[in-house]
Amino acid sequence: SASTSVKPHTVHVVCRCDDEHSHVSTAPAPSDGYGASHTSCYTDEMAKSRYDSLDEVFSKSLTDHQLQELLKELLDASVKIADALRTNLVTVNGNSNISGDTQLTVDVIADDLLWDLAKSSRHVYEAASEEKPNIVRTHSEGQYVLCWDPLD
The candidate with the shortest Cα–Cα distance to 81, out of 101, 104, 51, is 104
- The pLDDT assigned to 7 comes to 41
How far apart (Å, rounded) are the C-alpha atoms in residues 90 and 106? 6
- The pLDDT assigned to 30 comes to 52
Q: Which long-range contacts (CB under 8 A, 24 or more apart) does 28-35 make?
A: 34/7, 34/10
- The pLDDT assigned to 134 comes to 93
- The pLDDT assigned to 37 comes to 52
How far apart (Å, rounded) are the C-alpha atoms in residues 40 and 52? 23
- Identify the segments of the chain with pLDDT beneath 50: 1-18, 20-26, 29, 34
- The pLDDT assigned to 11 comes to 41
